[in-house]
Every structure is written in structure tokens, then in C-alpha cells.
A and B are shown apart, each in its own frame.
Chain A
Amino acid sequence: MVQANAATEPVMKTAKKNSKLVKVLKDWDLYFMLVPGLIFLLIFKYTPMYGLIIAFMDFNIFRGVAGSEWVGLKHFENLFINGQFVNVLTNTILISLYKLIFLFPAPIIVAILMNEILNMVFKRTVQSIIYLPHFISWVIISGLFINLLSLNGIVNSALGWLGLEKITFFMEQSMFRSILVFTDGWKEVGWGTIVYLAAITSIDPQQYEAATIDGANKFRQIWHITLPGMAPVIVLMLILRLGNVLEAGTEQILVMYNPVVYEVGDVIGTFVYRIGLGTGDYSFTTAVGLFESVVGFILIVTGNHICKKYLGRSIW
């Protein structure tokens, strides 16, 4: 019996392998379709990952990867000695945290409120208007808000009419982060409601009917039915958001900041762009970028693991 098993097993394995091969050959064109995508990934996604090794070198762009000298963890040790990086990391975390605190709950609340609107024409109109900013580029948005907040802008005119002093908004260190949070909210909160509105729609309406019969008012229904019904989506979105905690909005900040507010507005992404490409300090800034990527990766994988374990849901 045992012997027979041992004898048939390799045969079965090769048979299985053969059937796989037959399948691949039969549907060769299906596998052929995979090729362009995989080449794309190899060149534009995985080659830069290989390029991360220059974080462990003193990379010289003229000598290339092969000709540059290995320096081990030198650049990573420098990270936390470099006062500029520590400041940049602090800015990144603070701006991210402000955005998380103010802008993560916002679309949840807006979606709950929106769900209470029964007038469909009003609802559609509001949706059309508040989704629109999502499709506008950061370049345009910076233009719109610089236009509003400049010294000739309407906000300063209004301050003048009220007898208040004019404010150079984009030049004030104390204002800059608030401007970032506000404009990010202006762009994305409306759009962010979509996923939560979908979550609310999937809640069984019978629950609301039962609650109404039991005499629960609107507020209790929101608290005991709507919010718990949205909870899995909220957790999912939170994990996705946490994975991005070191991406404080590079494309937004690049079009809004200026040297006067570097001290409070310079984040990892803008730092890597300005210092890396500006001064050609490729190895150090690659180390900074690698730090960002690794932290983001750990956060999202851990978050997903926790989500899987306790909620039985997974992002991938």
C-alpha cells in the first residue's frame, strides 16, 4: 500500500505538470496577453525598486551603479543626525495627522447627513457640486486659492471691509498647515462620501423600520444602525489611509509652498524632490525615500493583518 503510493505519486505529479503545460499551450494567446503588462511592471515598477540599492552607496551618476562605492548604512545613520530631515519628518507626520483628524471623519459625517436628504433634485445637485473639486488638478486649485487669498484677493478685501488687517496667507508659517488641510478637504471630502454612501445603501432598510416602530428617533437610528453598518468600510478606509501617513500631500504642497514656509511645510516628498534633484544628493535622498516606502509598507501590511484577524476582512 505504502509502496504503491510512493510509486504512483511522482507519476501523478508529472501528469499534473503535463496537464498544466497542455493548458498553457492550448491557451497560449491568453498567456501572451500577460506579457506587455509584466514588461511594463518590470521596467517601470521593479527596476526602480532595484535602484533603491543606491541608498547603500555613494552613488555617482556619471559612474553609474556598477562604479559607485558601497557605504552600508551611512545614509540611514545620517537620517536622524540630519536636523533638516528630522524637521521634514516632523512636518510630514504633523500635516498627515492634522489631515487625518479633520479630514478622515469629515466624509463619514457628510455622507450620514446626505443620506437624510429626501429631496432627490437637491441631493443630486449637491452631489454634482461637491464631487467636482476632486477632478480639478492641484495646479489649478493652488491658482484658485492663491487668487482668493492674495493681497488683492477677495478674502483680504473682506478683511479690509471689516476693518481688519490684511494677511499674506501663503507667507504665514502659522497659517500654512491650515491652508493645506482646508484645501485638501475642499478637494476631497465630497468625493470621499461616495464610498460611505454606498455602505449606507447596503444597510437593510428593515432595520430602520423596526427601530422606528420601537420608537427610536433619527439620532438613535444613526448611532445604532447607520454607524455600525458603515463600520467595516470605515475600518478599511482607515487602514488604507494609515499606509499613506508619510505621504502628506507632496503634489499639493509643491504647488503651494515657498521658501518662507519651508520650515513648517516641507515634507518628505517635497524634500526628496528639491534636495535630490536640486543638489544631486541622490544616495541620501534615496535613503529618505526608502524610509518612507518601508514605513508605509509595514503600516499597511500590519493594518491589513489586524483587519483580517479581527474583522475577517482583507484589502487584498
Chain B
Amino acid sequence: MSVSPYKKSLSEKIFIRFIYLFFIVYGLVALFPFLNVIAKSLSSEGAVIAGLVTIYPIGFQTGTYQYVLSNPLFVNSFKVTIFITAVGTFLSLLMTVLAAYPLSKPDLVGRKPILLVYIFTMLFSGGLIPSYILMRELGLVNNIWVLILPGMISVFNMLIVKNFFEGLPEGLEESAKIDGASNITVLFRIALPLSKPVLATIGLFYAVALWNSYFGAMVYITDPSLKPLQLYLKELIASTKDTMLVAGEVDLSRDLNTTADSVQAAAIITATVPILIVYPFLQKYFVKGAFVGSVKG
């Protein structure tokens, strides 16, 4: 007698086939915009103008990348972004850990109200205009720190770290404290080394958010030398968008804007490469589901 009498019915077999097909199509749709823009950035002007480029370069060239990498505005905005990402991630991690550690102690006096003070900011905010007026008063308009300071603590990330700290074995900290260690020593010598996975996850999330942000810069920065990469790209895309969309048929501007088209493609790819480099690390951590289900306070 067969132990497993269950056999897949025809409709189930078709269903499974359909699922594989579905994900192949989905994967292609997810990748196609990247492949197309990579191919365009490496193709000759003629092929791009004629709209012939699909997912492989036609008339291979790398002049667009040389142009992008030698453009002082692009290079400067790249530097600005590297600065805010590096400094911002470090400060965010430090602030987040300092906030999360005491709040992970169940017998902390005032723990509940303080948590509420944090969580309330997730539910309600002053909005754009009052923030803008505040930044003006603080002298943060056209100041690079405006891209770092207002976002230092993500409450969501703080709660994840807090939950992680709560799960650490108590005994280790207790014994250290009996030996006379202060709370700060315990945090930096014992708790943090045990928290590397969650710190890596949160750090990467802060870094990606800082790398990708443009809105704050658009509101608070007008000085071209302080513009981060995403804002520079936004303006580049906006300047070519109008000509590409409206005047695509006009012969005169055609030559010009299609060149811009390839250059823009190269700029987009160059700005995305760092994300692609950290992506495997990101994936390694988020697959562990470090943050799933940790919304509860």
C-alpha cells in the first residue's frame, strides 16, 4: 500500500506551471527597465535616436560614462551623498542604539510614557511647512547637516533594535554589572557585540535611505555645491524630460536631447551601482526576517 495516496490533479499541475510562468514574466518586468537603461547608456547616438535599443547595446561606446564621471557637478554631488551616507549612518546608529537600550529594560522608570512619546511621532507630524520654518530658524537651510540631523532616528528602526536588545540573555549583563561595570560599558562591551546582525541590518537600511533621499535636499538646499546625487539626478532628468516628452519629434532639438538621453542613462546607472553592491548584504540580513513582526512596541 502506498503511504502517500495523494496525487496531483491535472488542474494542480497546470497551476504549478502557471506559477513558474508568472514568476518568469514578473522577473523580466522587474529587470527590463534596468537592462534597457544599461543598454542605452552603452549604445551609439544613432541607435538611441532611432529607438532601436532593447536589452543589449547597439554601436557600443563608453563615452557617456566618461562624460558623466568627468562632470564636476556629478562628481561633487556624488561626494556630498557619500558624506551624508557615511556620517548619517554612523550618527543614526549611535542615536538609535542609545535610545533603544534603556527602553529595552522592562523596569526602567517612565518606560511606557517615553515609548509613547516616540510612537506618537509615527502617527502624527507637524508636516512640511512648520519643519521648513524651523530649519530656517535653526540656520539649517543650505547647510549640509539638514540632510542628516532631522532623520537621525527612525522610530521604526529604534523599535526593532529595542526588541532585539530585549531578547539578549540577561545573565551576561548581570554578571558584568556585579563586577562593577556601568550601563554604558555593558552596552558597548557586551550588548553591541552580540547585536551585530541587527546593527548591520539597521545600518544598511539607514544607508540606503540616506543614499536615496532627495526630498529634504529639494526643500532645504539651493546651493549647487551642496546638492546630493539624487537631487542632481532629479534636476538632470527634469531638464531632459520636457524636451524628450514634448519635443521628441522636433528635428532641431532631437540630436541634442537624445545625447542627453544616453548621458542621463549613464548617470542613472552610476548612481545605482553602490546600491547594487550592498544589495547582496542587505538580502543576507533581511531574509532572516530580523524586522518582521517587530512593529509591536
Contacts and interface: CB of A to CB of B under 8 A. Distances in A.
B95 A116 contact: no
A173 interface: no
A129 interface: yes
A186 B51 contact: no
B233 A139 contact: yes
B150 A44 contact: yes
Given A29-B182, A139-B233, A147-B264, A130 B36 contact: no
A205 interface: no
A23 interface: yes
A258 to B, nearest CB: 7
Q: Which of A139, A156, A236 has the most C-beta atoms of chain B within 10 angstroms of its own C-beta?
A: A139
B52 A29 contact: no
Interface stretch (B24-32, B67-75, B82-90, B194-202): B24-32
A58 to B, nearest CB: 14
Given A36-B95, A48-B126, A137-B214, A61 B133 contact: yes
A147 B99 contact: no
A38 B237 contact: no
Interface SS of A by simple majority? helix
Contacts of A292: 127
B51 A314 contact: no
A45 B154 CA distance: 11
Interface residues of B, number: 106
A223 interface: no
Contacts, number: 291
For chain A, which range describes its interface: under 10, 10 to 19, 20 to 34, or 35 or more residues? 35 or more
16 contacts: A30-B102, A34-B103, A46-B121, A126-B27, A136-B272, A142-B237, A147-B265, A150-B244, A151-B245, A151-B248, A152-B248, A186-B29, A218-B15, A219-B11, A286-B127, A293-B126
Given A147-B33, A282-B133, 8 more contacts: A40-B153, A130-B26, A131-B286, A140-B233, A150-B248, A217-B11, A276-B129, A301-B123
Interface of A: 20, 23-24, 27, 29-31, 33-34, 36-38, 40-41, 43-52, 54, 61, 110, 113-114, 116-117, 122, 125-133, 135-148, 150-154, 156-157, 160, 168, 170-171, 186, 190, 194-195, 198, 212-213, 215, 217-219, 236, 240, 243, 250-251, 254-255, 258, 269, 272-273, 276-277, 282, 285-286, 289-290, 292-294, 296-297, 300-301, 314-316
